[in-house]
Chain A
Amino acid sequence: MKKRNLLLAALVLASLPAAPALAGWKLVPHAKPIAVAKGTLTVTPDADWNRWSVRPIKKGEVWTLDGTGLNEVYFVSGLIVGETLYRDADKKNRPLPTLTKGMTLTDIPEFFESSNRIALNTSLFTVTGVEPAKMGERDAVKFNYEYAVEGSPLKRRGMAIGSLSGGVLYLISYTAPATHFYEQNRAKAEAIMASAHY
């Protein structure tokens, strides 16, 4: 009986929501080159930013100015074949797409879009423009996007730059509410992207 009670209690414990520990933030000073996402991708911001101690994936990193829901820069450095852009929240039912062998620059926007559609659980995600770009001296692709999620009247906009070298992905995205925040901090995000190299 006691064993059964313990088992039941363990099941209850396991089913309780996990504790989302409060994040810690570190200052990223402006005008100093810094390697991001534990990889070789390096940027030099023109303004001070806050770096989150929590990493969405091992090769990812998040920066913000006022809070991730208001302005978020997401870095991915050195994603390899078989890895996902975000952490798989429901791998069994809604797996995130993985980076595949033979992927080219033009595939990056679609990979980003399909990853976000699943991660954000929204069908309202649109890539609005794709153009060739440079990440340092490497070829890259730059694109814009916008989306909304169910239950919120807020529209969000973003831009991203991605590059592939030997099948390994390097990516930076900037996302903010379309109202006020996107334009307010767009230049700071562009400065980060323009300084990026690996």
Chain B
Amino acid sequence: MIRNLLRAVSGAIVAVCLIAGAAPAVAGSVQRDGFAYPQGQPIKIVVFRPDVRVGSLRVGGLDEPNADWTAAARTNIQTAMESSPQMREANLTFLGEFEGEQADVVNENRGLFEAVAGAMFQHVTMGDRLPTKLVASTDPNAKKQYRIDWSLGAQTDRLREVTGGDYALFFFTHDSYGDAGRKVAQLLMAGLFGAYVPAGVHIGYAAMIDLKTGDVVWFNTDLAMGGDPRDAEGAQKRVSQLLAGFPKPPVQPTAVQP
């Protein structure tokens, strides 16, 4: 039951985002300790199709998907990514859909990535630290440091074979706009008690995986993303936020065909 609650990163993020309410925005970009691109050789970074979900949020917190909004946001975000100066500078390669066994490998890893991202969100971004990740220190006054060592395992080498990439970027965004009932509740609570009811959910995360080792080498989350991905301009803002802190490759990667 517990793993069910925490299994899907979207569910966990939405839940925490809803209760985070008026709290300061939770966001952060972290890199794996010691991460550096290999020098003196071309590297290939591939981008999986962004996972985009848009819906409406009911007064009771029910998150209802909206297929039209999702389709529009998916197209806008993909377009914004392909035209993003940050992405073009890094010469990233966008992957299309896969079929057959290749699709199975990609889907399996997409699911695994969601689970890993959910754990990183909880234990890194939200600060719900795991004691076994604490870095031992002999200095009693030293600030506590925790290892960021999450990995999908070396099995991601199969993704390397499928995509030809050295690194892979995953993106996820989830927007849920408050419906009329929720907006009424928002006004009611503010008027009667001065209490804050969050109008909706606007979250996203991005991560880069080293496909040789499966290690998550960069992870970026924001619980209060700006930009409405249902329109082109908003999608550009969203993409820019998703890429905040992205470690820019030192050399131009070569093109990769899916």
Is A121 in contact with B61, judged by CB distance below 8 angstroms? no
Q: Looking at the assembled complex, report how far the CB atom of B91 sits from the nearest CB atom of chain A, in whole angstroms.
A: 29
Contact A66 B150, CB 8 Å, known A17-B60, A25-B129, A25-B130: yes
Give A19 to B61 CA distance when docked, in angstroms: 11
Q: B112–A67 contact, CB under 8 A?
A: no
Do B6 and A74 have beta carbons less than 8 Å apart? no
Residue B2 interfacial (CB < 8 Å): yes
B123, CB-defined interface residue at 8 Å: yes
Contact with B along A17-38 (1 / 0, CB 8 A): 1111011111100000000000
Asked if B119 and A66 sit within 8 Å, CB to CB, the answer is yes
Complex contact B6–A152 (CB within 8 A): no
Q: Which of these, A13, A62, A156, A184, contacts B2 with CB under 8 Å? A: A62
> A68 within 8 Å of B by Cβ?
yes
In this assembly, does B110 line the interface, its C-beta being within 8 Å of a C-beta of chain A? yes
Residues of A within 8 A of B192 (CB): 5-6, 9
A15 to B189, CA, bound (A): 12
Q: Mark B1-13, 1 if CB is under 8 A from A, else 0.
A: 1111111100000
**What's the minimum C-beta distance from A62 to chain B, rounded to whole angstroms?**
6
Nearest Cβ on chain B to A181's Cβ, whole angstroms: 7
Q: In whole angstroms, what is the CA distance A52 to B6 when docked?
A: 13
**A145 close to B (CB within 8 Å):** no
Tell me, in angstroms, the Cα distance from A18 to B111 when the chains sit together: 27
Which residue from chain A places its CB closest to the CB of B5 in the assembled complex? A20
Q: Is the CB of A152 within 8 A of B7?
A: yes
- Give chain A residues whose Cβ lies under 8 Å from the Cβ of B15: 17, 20
Q: Select A67's contact among B122, B127, B131, beta carbons within 8 Å.
A: B122
Question: With A177-B112, A181-B153 in contact, do A48 and B119 touch (Cβ < 8 Å)?
Answer: no
A180 B128 Cβ-Cβ under 8 A = no
The 8 Å CB contact of A69, one of B109, B110, B119, B214, is B119
B143-194 at interface with A (beta carbon < 8 Å): 150-153, 155, 185, 188-189, 192-193
At the interface, yes or no: A56 with Cβ under 8 Å from chain B?
yes
- Chain A residues whose C-beta falls within 8 Å of the C-beta of B115 in the assembled complex: 67, 69-70, 154, 177
A127 contacts chain B at the CB level, 8 A cutoff: no
Bound Cα distance from A179 to B107, whole angstroms: 12
Q: Which residue on chain A has the smallest CB distance to residue B111?
A: A154
Question: Complex: how many Å from CA A141 to CA B172?
Answer: 42
Q: 29 A-B Cβ contacts within 8 A? A: A8-B188, A12-B59, A12-B185, A16-B185, A22-B16, A26-B131, A27-B132, A48-B131, A48-B132, A49-B132, A50-B131, A50-B132, A67-B115, A67-B122, A67-B130, A68-B2, A68-B6, A70-B115, A74-B2, A119-B1, A152-B114, A153-B110, A153-B111, A154-B7, A155-B108, A180-B151, A180-B153, A181-B153, A184-B153
Per CB-CB distance, the 3 closest pairs between chain A and chain B, nearest first, are A67-B119, A154-B111, A180-B153
B residues adjacent to A (C-beta < 8 A): 1-8, 15-16, 18-19, 59-61, 107-112, 114-116, 118-120, 122-123, 126-132, 150-153, 155, 185, 188-189, 192-193, 197, 214
Sample of 14 further A-B pairs with CB below 8 A, known A12-B59, A17-B61: A6-B192, A9-B188, A9-B192, A16-B185, A67-B118, A69-B115, A70-B115, A154-B111, A177-B111, A179-B108, A179-B112, A179-B155, A180-B214, A181-B153
